[in-house]
Amino acid sequence: MKVLVYSDDAATREKVRLALGRRPAADLPLVEIVECATQAAVVRKLDSGEIDIAILDSEAAPAGGMGIAKQAKDEVHDCPPICLIIARRDDRWLANWSRADAVISQPLDPMVVAETIAGLMRGRLPAVS
């Protein structure tokens, strides 16, 4: 599964990448991390249809993850699930406005990151009968 990680901060992208590892849970496929540092790169990757999950930093500048999430949910056909990284607990209502599928808070807890993204990944797997 391809997981897009967007932040203008390389350290934030690295923390997410390390938290996910090669796979966030034993029952899931391997993860391929696609890092983006600009809004244009995120839009290009989401438009390609190759991304399974997107993790967006709401504090990124000049384009924050919340605005990108809202735009993606409005404009990208079959938009993948989006997880927002928020810095303040009070930002959860803005995450709801942006139609994010999940939220994780700073400072990033590797266990929470892995569990949250694993849940989103499970929702993207084809049903096995």
Domains and CATH numbers, the chain: 2-124 (3.40.50.2300)
pLDDT at residue 108, rounded to an integer: 94
Q: What is the pLDDT of residue 2?
A: 96
Which pLDDT score, from 0 to 100, does residue 92 have? 84
Instruction: Return the pLDDT at 67.
Output: 94
- The burial class, CB within 10 Å (0-12 / 13-18 / 19+), for 8 is middle
pLDDT of residue 100 exceeding 60: yes
Indicate whether 32 pLDDT > 70.
yes
Kindly tell me if the per-residue pLDDT of 45 is higher than 70: yes
The DSSP symbol for 21 reads -
In the predicted structure, residue 74 carries a pLDDT above the cut 60: yes
Residue 107 CB burial class (10 angstroms; 0-12, 13-18, ≥19): exposed
Q: What is the mean pLDDT of residues 107-124?
A: 95
The token duo for 47 is 């438009």
